[in-house]
Amino acid sequence: MSFETISVIGLGYIGLPTAAAFASRQKNVIGVDVNTHAVETINRGAIHIVEPDLDKVVKQAVEGGFLRAVTKPEAADAFLIAVPTPFKGDHEPDLAFVEAAARSVAPVLKKGDLVILESTSPVGATEQMAAWLAEARPDLTFPQQAGEESDIDIAYCPERVLPGKVMIELIQNDRVIGGMTPKSSARASELYKIFLEGECVVTNSRTAEMCKLTENSFRDVNIAFANELSLICAEQGINVWELIALANRHPRVNILQPGPGVGGHCIAVDPWFIVSQNPQQARLIHTARLVNDGKPLWVMDKVKAALADCLAASGKRAAEVKIACFGLAFKPDIDDLRESPAMEIAHMIAEWHTGQTLLVEPNIAQLPKKLVGHAELASTEEALRQADVLVMLVDHKQFKAIAADSVKQQFIVDTKGVWR
């Protein structure tokens, strides 16, 4: 059966680009989100999130009549669920949004529909989603009971786009297709081929779930290795940036870069899903999480030590000393401050320091609410002119372009090796 109408549930960083990609291929797309602000914004042809080039595609899709947003699911031939999957309690996966989305779709399902879970999920979540759907629709059959013959096909197809490059990677990346049955995989592949230039690689739903978690855990473990090296090098008086550049000259060594910690919405979250389900086995993955999550406090200790050195050398009181933080975003050259270790460190400094804290973030125009009253935004030039202690937190291109001779300060904590 072909896909005349496609519905995407959850119109955030993943769902909206996906909906827009189908609409750009002239498919009739119904986007569903419980957030009325998102729905109204999209229906005006605008976007409520920041992602390069997404605005143009959404505008064209809405103006062309191919994309409309609603707050409650309507009938469609395929449903893609891209709602949040945060953790709760002691880092356990929280499937409440997936359950709510599945239960909201259940009443409009009809024989022949395809349901795809895209949200990053623990192993078994797709089978759980099928069970919720089956419970809500006893009049239909689902893969778990009916296998290939089921009325509804179900697959897990994770998303692996890089924030900042979503509109390119969404189309070009290979896609893992984890059908609950071979027929589900075949239909999901047919659906993505509407816009996908990459390959559809077929497996089962549990392997596809684990594949997504594996990709982000691999990166987390590798960043933890670099962060651990930075701690060791600080003890040994070795420049970690030089060390990594030298070690990477080996043909089979490729160490990532240390930093202030790991941020964003995926790498600091997804490995916990593996740890939570396999606490006995996932020792390395667990330790990597702890190493990366511990980095902001380690940086804070370095800032305290730099301030102490500055006070000793200058004879000033702490209240007379200005500390400047360079960067707040969770990674370079973006404006996303959510789950950012740089924000966490800037906040700790601003709350603890009795003198002025200056924040330089070229990608934002307003001080984040959390920091109002504790710190102030400054330009790179102002910060370099006024501050006594410099803390480099994000290697934005503007900071990498600062001329070495314009940095006169002696007291520097450089978490990104910009001023190595």
Ligand X SMILES: CC(=O)N[C@@H]1[C@@H](OP(=O)(O)OP(=O)(O)OC[C@H]2O[C@@H](n3ccc(=O)[nH]c3=O)[C@H](O)[C@@H]2O)O[C@H](CO)[C@@H](O)[C@@H]1O
Ligand Y SMILES: NC(=O)c1ccc[n+]([C@@H]2O[C@H](COP(=O)([O-])OP(=O)(O)OC[C@H]3O[C@@H](n4cnc5c(N)ncnc54)[C@H](O)[C@@H]3O)[C@@H](O)[C@H]2O)c1
Q: Which residues are catalytic?
A: 212, 266
Residue nearest to ligand Y (CB): 12
Q: In a 10 Å sphere around its CB, with 0-12 CB exposed, 13-18 middle and 19+ buried, how is residue 227 labelled?
A: buried
- 201, 256, 348, 402: which one binds ligand X (CB under 6 A): 256
Do the Cβ atoms of 60 and 37 come closer than 8 Å? Answer: no
Do the Cβ atoms of 125 and 160 come closer than 8 Å? Answer: no
Closest separation in Å from C-beta 84 to ligand Y = 5
Closest separation in Å from C-beta 282 to ligand Y = 18
CA-CA distances (angstroms) from residue 65 to 17, 32, 170, 196, 234? Answer: 16, 16, 22, 22, 58
Tell me if 13 is assigned to a ligand binding site: yes
Residue nearest to ligand X (CB): 266
Binding site partner of 259, from ligand X, ligand Y, none, Cβ cut-off 5-8 A by kind? ligand X
Q: Could you list the residues that contact ligand Y (CB under 6 A)?
A: 9-15, 32-35, 38, 82-85, 97, 100-101, 104, 119-120, 159, 161, 163, 265-266
Q: Which stretches of 185-241 are assigned E, i.e. beta strand?
A: 200-204
| Residue 140 CB-half CA count within 13 A | 24
Tell me if 15 is assigned to a ligand binding site: no
- 163, 178, 327, 417: which one binds ligand X (CB under 6 A): 163
Q: Is 264 among the residues that bind ligand X (CB under 6 A)?
A: yes
DSSP 9-76: E--STTHHHHHHHHHHTT-EEEEE-S-HHHHHHHHTT--SS--TTHHHHHHHHHHTTSEEEESS----
| Minimum CB distance to ligand Y smaller for 163 or for 327 | 163
Q: Which two tokens stand for residue 396?
A: 């934005």
Binding site partner of 15, from ligand Y, ligand X, none, Cβ cut-off 5-8 A by kind? ligand Y
Binding site partner of 355, from ligand Y, ligand X, none, Cβ cut-off 5-8 A by kind? none
- 80, 130, 262, 350: which one binds ligand X (CB under 6 A): 262
Binding site partner of 336, from ligand X, ligand Y, none, Cβ cut-off 5-8 A by kind? none
Distance CA 299, CA 393 (A): 9
**CA 410: distance to chain centroid?**
35
Amino acid at 80: L
Tell me if 227 is assigned to a ligand binding site: no
DSSP category for residue 161: P
Site residues for ligand X per CB under 6 A:
120, 160-163, 215-216, 219, 223, 256-257, 259, 262-264, 266-267, 330-331
Going by the annotation, the residues of the binding site for UDP-N-acetyl-alpha-D-mannosaminouronate are 160-161, 212, 216, 219, 250, 252, 263, 330-331, 416
